[in-house]
Amino acid sequence: MIVFSSTLDSVVESVDGAEESVRRCANDAGFGESDQFFIGLAVREILINAMKHGNRFDPGKKVGFNVSVDGRDLVMDVTDQGSGFKLEAVPDPTRPENLERKSGRGIDMARKIMDEVSVTANSPCGSHVRMVKRLKS
């Protein structure tokens, strides 16, 4: 069941409202304050990545953002209209040769926070990032 859906302009200023909305959804789903913070942080990073790396801050391109609840799972979907990317192609930012790189940390952070992170091609173009956080008993 979708509990929040939005189409965002490709500007960083549009991320604050989306982050606040996902934190409210996490609260309503029963997640504690710490989980709410980290879920919001992961979503913020992925939304900014979609705007910056996917849409290249092109004002004509949008970012889709949906939050749904599936049983005990909070599911967040982010889509962009860029050229797409493969998750396995993102360099590991913790490796010594990548420590000075300025990219790759957002997706790594999301992977550490969430229980699942997947990337697929979005039709007709772009990427679809799905993040899942499971509510612990």
Query: Residue 115 belongs to a domain with what CATH number?
Result: 3.30.565.10
pLDDT value of residue 89: 76
Per-residue pLDDT of the chain (137 residues; tens, 9 = 90+): 889 999 999 999 999 999 999 999 999 999 999 999 999 999 999 999 999 999 999 999 999 999 999 999 999 999 999 998 877 777 777 787 877 887 778 899 999 999 999 999 988 899 999 999 999 97
pLDDT value of residue 90: 78
Contact indicator for 44, 73 with CB cutoff of 8 Å = no
pTM over 0.85, yes/no: yes
CA distance 114 to 33: 15
Total of domains in the chain: 1
Instruction: Sort strands 127-134 and 73-79 into parallel, antiparallel or unpaired.
Output: antiparallel
Residues of the domain holding 58? 2-134
- Report in angstroms the alpha-carbon separations of 44 from 16, 17, 97, 136: 8, 10, 26, 22
Residue 37, classified by CB atoms within 10 Å of its CB into exposed (0-12), middle (13-18) or buried (19+), is middle
pLDDT value of residue 37: 98
